[in-house]
Chains A and B, each alone.
Chain A
Amino acid sequence: MKAEKLKGHLDLLLLSVLSRGPGHGYEVITRLKVRSDGAFQLPEGTVYPALHRLEDAGLLASGWDVVTGRRRRIYHLTPAGEAALAEQAAQWREFSGSMARVLGAPAAPALATAGGMA
């Protein structure tokens, strides 16, 4: 999937990935790839400004720890982040459900007529 398409949903994806447990940037990207079966490929660097923005907004918090011999910044969801994730996930499910219904429905006669006229 193209990175541009993911940009609008990156916050939700990051919140969702971190809802499964705290993690550092590289870990977050790895989880994102694994959970999407490799479908979500984006320049990995774009994750950092998004993580920082979410932290500034109070949806994430971070602390430093040494993991596998390297000092790393570990991010975790705050209560506000959990609430935002629940709200955004509900909105996404409603949107995707509506999209699925529209895309799954047979073409409306009016649309077919309009297509024929063009």
Chain B
Amino acid sequence: MSGGTGDAPSDLIEDYLDRLLVSLSGSPRQVRHTLAEVEAHLRDAVAEGIAAGLPEETAQVQALERIGPVHAVTGRPAGLRPPAALLRRLTLTAALVGGAGFVAIGGAGLVGRLLQVLKGNLFMTTPFPPGTYTRADCARWLAGDPGTRSCVTAMLADHAFDYLLQAAACGLLGLAGLAAFLFLRRRWSDRATATALPAGTAEGLGAALAGVAAVACFGQAVDLETVQRGVGVGEPLSLGIAAAVAAVAFALALRHRQRVARLRAP
């Protein structure tokens, strides 16, 4: 830093501009532009005061009195965090975490399909106990699987298909959520929205939720493996794998976000 008076720590104009910088909302470009024009304004006012015979410090005080408090320039009361910015940030967080979560379920469907091919429907899903379904149910399941005469086999195929279909639907919903996130993030790129929640909140929340889901699903898979000798393990196992991948992805994104935040810290 140069030792000129413009950069001196006691420069009242610099102090004012520092306070203005952290109070302005809007896109980075809007913030830079407002800061530049207010600085030009203040320097003009100080120059006018000095030209009128005032000492520099008095001219600075007078210029700051004329321009008014920082919130006069920002157009909102000092210290107020706009609820709209917080609402936007929460919406972005929900869209990212929700979207990624549903995409992970879609991914679980792909893993499930692979397991279904490799290990069969009995590995994927648990059949209903005898006596809990009717002849009509059997007829419906058999109609959907004409290649078999076994009600249980047809039931397993139906359940596995339902699981894969629901997972695919969740995946598509998740992609829509992520598209909404990307669209809204471009629209809401202002500083107030970006700082309404601590950096990495969405990534941290996503990592925590996905981690808990992964542990729960793997636990259930292990339980089914030991208690039911592998019957129905496929669903929780595929969900657990997808949740674990999502947790790792969120954790990596969180680490990246924290590194960027450290680099930007004053």
Taking Cβ atoms with an 8 Å cutoff, the residues of A that contact B are 24-26, 43-46, 48-49, 52-53, 70-73
Contacts and interface: CB of A to CB of B under 8 A. Distances in A.
A52 B35 CA distance: 13
Interface of B: 30, 33-34, 36-38, 40-41, 43-45, 66-70, 72-75
Q: Which label, helix, strand, loop or mixed, suits the secondary structure of the B interface?
A: helix
Q: Which label, helix, strand, loop or mixed, suits the secondary structure of the A interface?
A: helix
B66 A26 contact: no
8 closest A-B pairs by CB:
A43-B68, A49-B75, A45-B72, A45-B73, A45-B68, A45-B67, A43-B72, A73-B37
Contacts of A44: 41, 45, 66-68
Contact of B67 (A24, A43, A52, A71): A43
A73 B43 CA distance: 14
Nearest to B75: A49
Nearest to A28: B41
Contact of B41 (A26, A46, A52, A53): A26
A24 B39 CA distance: 12
A49 B74 contact: yes
29 contacts: A24-B37, A26-B40, A26-B44, A26-B45, A43-B68, A43-B72, A44-B45, A44-B66, A44-B67, A44-B68, A45-B38, A45-B69, A45-B70, A45-B72, A46-B75, A48-B34, A48-B37, A48-B38, A48-B75, A49-B74, A52-B34, A52-B75, A70-B40, A70-B44, A71-B40, A72-B37, A72-B40, A73-B33, A73-B36
Nearest to B65: A43
B10 to A, nearest CB: 22
Given A43-B66, A46-B75, 10 more contacts: A24-B37, A26-B44, A26-B45, A44-B66, A45-B69, A46-B68, A48-B75, A52-B75, A73-B36, A73-B37
Contacts of B73: 45-46, 48-49
A44 to B, nearest CB: 5
Contacts of B69: 43, 45
A2 to B, nearest CB: 14
Question: B30, B43, B45, B75: which has the most chain A beta carbons within 10 Å?
Answer: B75
Nearest to B45: A26
